[in-house]
Structure 1
Amino acid sequence: MNRVFRHLLCVLFLVGFAGAAQAGSADDDYEFGVLFNDTGVEETFIYCAACHSERIIAQQGLTREGWIELLEWMVLDQEMEEIEEPDYTLIIDYLAKNYGVDRPNFPSN
């Protein structure tokens, strides 16, 4: 099975799983787990949660340069597909703003 197809299957599974996990919550329509709702959240969730929990994202606290280095490491060492523009910039902007060193949106639960 090629990598793009596997990636798509993972995304579909995780989106479905996240939707099921949100059932019964106050905001049944929110699909992005613990990620803060801001510009770029959808792209970040789709690309990142295809391989790991969105909680791993939210628990970080990296500078913009740190996020760039982490994504480069994932591509070079973890065989993640490169993220094309404009999604790459949306994701980096989202991560730097919402999950920087001060971690303003660190999940409380």
Structure 2
Amino acid sequence: MITRIVKMTFLPGNIEGFKEIFYESQKLIRAFDGCIRLELMKDISNECIFFTISHWENEESLNTYRDSYLFKNTWSKVKPLFSERALAWSLSPDQQK
């Protein structure tokens, strides 16, 4: 399983626009082949910072989504709303015992 965390910082006037885009897209993203879970989280000390946390069956599923029209279309709407560059991490469980 892959966990993808994306940190996004928005201009204050763009937060509602981002939320509209996210909530319109979330069902499609959750239904995308390989997506296990998708959450939107907000920083408790800075109302302009949001995180998406998604869980994918494997890296191939995540990459297929990232190459999809759904991702490219959604990202093209969200990206102009940022106040700074988004940061992203792809994580896998540590298998060491």
Q: What is the TM-score of this pair, normalised by structure 2?
A: 0.31
- Normalized per residue, the structure richer in strand is 2
- Higher relative contact order, structure no. (Cα contacts within 8 Å, ≥ 6 residues apart): 2
- Normalized per residue, the structure richer in helix is 1
Q: What is the TM-score of this pair, normalised by structure 1?
A: 0.29
